[in-house]
Chain A
Amino acid sequence: KAGVTQTPRYLIKTRGQQVTLSCSPISGHRSVSWYQQTPGQGLQFLFEYFSETQRNKGNFPGRFSGRQFSNSRSEMNVSTLELGDSALYLCASSQTGGGDEQYFGPGTRLTVT
């Protein structure tokens, strides 16, 4: 069974631009969670989607948004990029999101200049 895939793997953007990251979950998994990983803050939860609905949200500004499609693939968007948005963005999939195992993708490394 294929694992979680994320595209693109690397991205360089300029302050003020916007970016869209994509995540394809493991086949059969309906929950997708997004995380931001930085050296200073570690892994922090952004939001979780299940059946095309956002069920949970972390403490990030509204510039961070996401969506999920009917095939469970998910995208996250960051608008008006700031230097502090430079991070590794990880998505994880699970069958239900309700306490079952979460499997992570390789991440998208975003650099904002």
Chain B
Amino acid sequence: QKEVEQDPGPLSVPEGAIVSLNCTYSNSAFQYFMWYRQYSRKGPELLMYTYSSGNKEDGRFTAQVDKSSKYISLFIRDSQPSDSATYLCAMMTSSNTGKLIFGQGTTLQVKP
């Protein structure tokens, strides 16, 4: 069983929809949680960073972490065709320096 599980999709939504992306994990030692966006043949771009539990909002993006359920989410409001990409969740423990554990990534397509 993988430490981090993420539905690979693909997920297809109409422009303007609210998108919900999720990851579950098994290691309760994870404390740092990140969401990346990766366009085809590019490096991952950091979207959101959260430490421990709680919500964080940045523009159209909201990240949620529920450590009791070992579940994290990324919400995208008013989705745009330019949001079409692969979204990767990643997490890290405090002791495993520099080592992010990634989900498989969810491919999102936003149709005009």
Summed over the interface, the residue pairs from A and B with CB atoms below 8 Å come to a total of 71
Distance of B74 from chain A, by nearest CB (Å): 15
Number of interface residues of A (CB under 8 A): 32
A49–B103 alpha-carbon span in the complex (Å) = 23
The residue in chain B whose Cβ has the minimal distance to the Cβ of A41 is B104
A31–B96 alpha-carbon span in the complex (Å) = 13
- CB contact list, B30-61 vs A, under 8 A: 31-32, 34, 36, 41-46, 49, 51
- CB contact list, A30-57 vs B, under 8 A: 31-33, 35, 42-45, 48-50, 55-56
Known A103-B46, A104-B43, A104-B45: A97·B97 in contact at CB below 8 Å: yes
| Secondary structure class of chain A's binding surface, majority of residues | strand
A48 touches B45 (CB 8 A): no
Known A43-B88, A104-B36: A90·B43 in contact at CB below 8 Å: yes
Please list the residues of chain B having a beta carbon within 8 angstroms of any beta carbon in chain A.
31-32, 34, 36, 41-46, 49, 51, 88, 90, 92, 94, 96-105
Please list the residues of chain A having a beta carbon within 8 angstroms of any beta carbon in chain B.
4, 6, 31-33, 35, 42-45, 48-50, 55-56, 58, 88, 90, 92, 94, 97-107, 109
